[in-house]
Amino acid sequence: MEKIIDESKQGTSLVIEANEKNARKLYIESYGCQMNFSDSEIVASILAKEGFNTTQILEEADLVLVNTCSIREKAEQTIRKRLEQFNAVKRHRPAMKVGVLGCMAERLKHKFLEEEHIVDLVVGPDAYKDLPNLLEEIDNGREAINVILSKEETYADISPIRLNSNGITAFVSITRGCDNMCTFCVVPFTRGRERSRDPQSIINEINDLYERGFKEITLLGQNVDSYLWYGGGLKKDFDKASDIQKATSVNFAQLLDLVASRFPKMRIRFSTSNPQDMTLDVIHTMAQYHNICKSIHLPVQSGSNRILQAMNRLHTREEYFELIDNIRRIIPECGISQDMIAGFPTETEQDHQDTLSLMQYVKYDFGFMFAYSERPGTLAARKIEDDIPEEVKKRRLAEIIDLQQQHSMERTQAQIGKIVEVLVEGNSKKSDQHWMGRNTQNTVVVFPKENYRKGDFVNVKITSCTSTTLIGEAIGYGQMQ
């Protein structure tokens, strides 16, 4: 759950500009969090050098890949149905190859290849550079698999091809893997232990985006706040580093400072944060720079200390409140969003009320809220009985969602009459006469186009709102323009 899942993007097929020298066609769909979509860009870059152009027409593809997510049961069910559909097409085009990438690939490797025989290729999140060798195997009629988790791989030397990009915003991965063994989460088992990317490679990638006209980047990782570069290797091995490695190491606050100061005309966002790792120096760095967006996604999962302990969350309710208080004190205008799980095993009505009272205290701008579903391979699945009835989970989830909608409306209504700086991303979904963009708090803003263009920073006076959208009128260019 430590990852934002945008439901509107699930199953998106990705396409890039064709290279006329490439003769083979790749169809690639992505599911899950932004890390998976970012990984698909890396895969497309690797395969472009192997003679593949992307296509959005499944029936003409030589290679079909689905980048998978194991974080929720719904995602796995969706992917299995898609694999059945792919294989129906494959019966008419036997030369077409089908492969599974990502978290499901790592978790269900042998089942896909040996038991169900529904794919030709299984590639884990750390093995994408091995794709040329694996493709040679399947071209020669053999099944291929590489799901080995790496201690070093960060894909720092791969320049991702931006797929279906709006040309304005982009994601830049800074870490891979996760060391937080939350009992509900499969990520540490499917993506391996945490390691950080060389800061210079991050700067180089952002500089390339800046030169191509991008205006906003999001630093991306399972847990960005625990970023720590000391020359390579796993974060858990930092205590074994030399004195000079420790002295020259770069933490997340320092990386944030480096990026913001180097690119003053680019907006900087980051996701996802973990409460136990977000430090005051990160918050102070955010406050120091106008171009660092005042928005923090801060998953809490539950408001009950007992449930937090059962989840192996390494923070308490009281520590979370202290962090929220520090954010509000140092950055009063900061937008804060949440992840929340309803109906975790053994959750009582009092535990649920603790979650609602925590929400009342924080008053989040928005959130990602789910009923607990047991994920195979997690510590919770092995050790804790899923004992909360589905109807109870659904009721508690509905109460959480209702309260969040109230708070979202309060937070947007508080913006009426204010002037906010908006980065224009594209047309409004409802009208091509209006632009859509986001303010620093990551709230969607809609306003009449007039003479402004996509990619402009525009000051907008807010005149009305819904619970999720601010509506206003442009009054001039913003500070970042």
The residues, ordered by sequence, that sit 6+ positions from 181 with a Cβ below 8 Å of its Cβ are 188, 312, 379
Residue ranges in 29-165 assigned as alpha helix (H): 34-48, 73-90, 103-107, 109-110, 131-139
Query: What single-letter amino acid sits at 57?
Result: I
Is 69 within any annotated ligand binding site?
Answer: yes
Return the H-helix or E-strand segment holding 400. Answer: helix 390-413
Burial (CB count within 10 angstroms: exposed 0-12, middle 13-18, buried 19+), residue 453: exposed
Listed residue (95, 106, 27) closest to 66, CA to CA: 27
Known binding residue 334? Answer is no
Interatomic CA distance for residues 33 and 4, integer angstroms: 5
The Cα–Cα gap between 230 and 246 comes to 6
CB-CB contact of 62 with 26 (8 Å): yes
What SS3 class is residue 336?
strand
* Strand 335-342 versus strand 295-297 pairing type: parallel
465 known member of a binding site:
no
Residue with tokens 């708070």: 407
Determine the 3-state secondary structure of 255 from DSSP: helix
Residue 244 neighbours by CB distance under 10 Å: 10
- Give the whole-angstrom CA distance, residue 471 versus residue 447: 6
CA 286 to chain centroid: 20
- For CA atoms 247, 249, 253, 254, the dihedral sign is positive
Q: In whole angstroms, what is the distance from residue 467 CA to residue 403 CA?
A: 12
Rg, Å, the chain Cα set: 23
Beta-bridge mates of residue 5: 33
Alpha-carbon distance of 470 to 462, in angstroms, equals 6
* Start-to-end C-alpha separation, the chain: 36
| Residue 185 annotated as part of some ligand binding site | yes
**Annotation: binding site for [4Fe-4S] cluster:** 33, 69, 103, 178, 182, 185
Q: Specify binding-site residues.
A: 33, 69, 103, 178, 182, 185
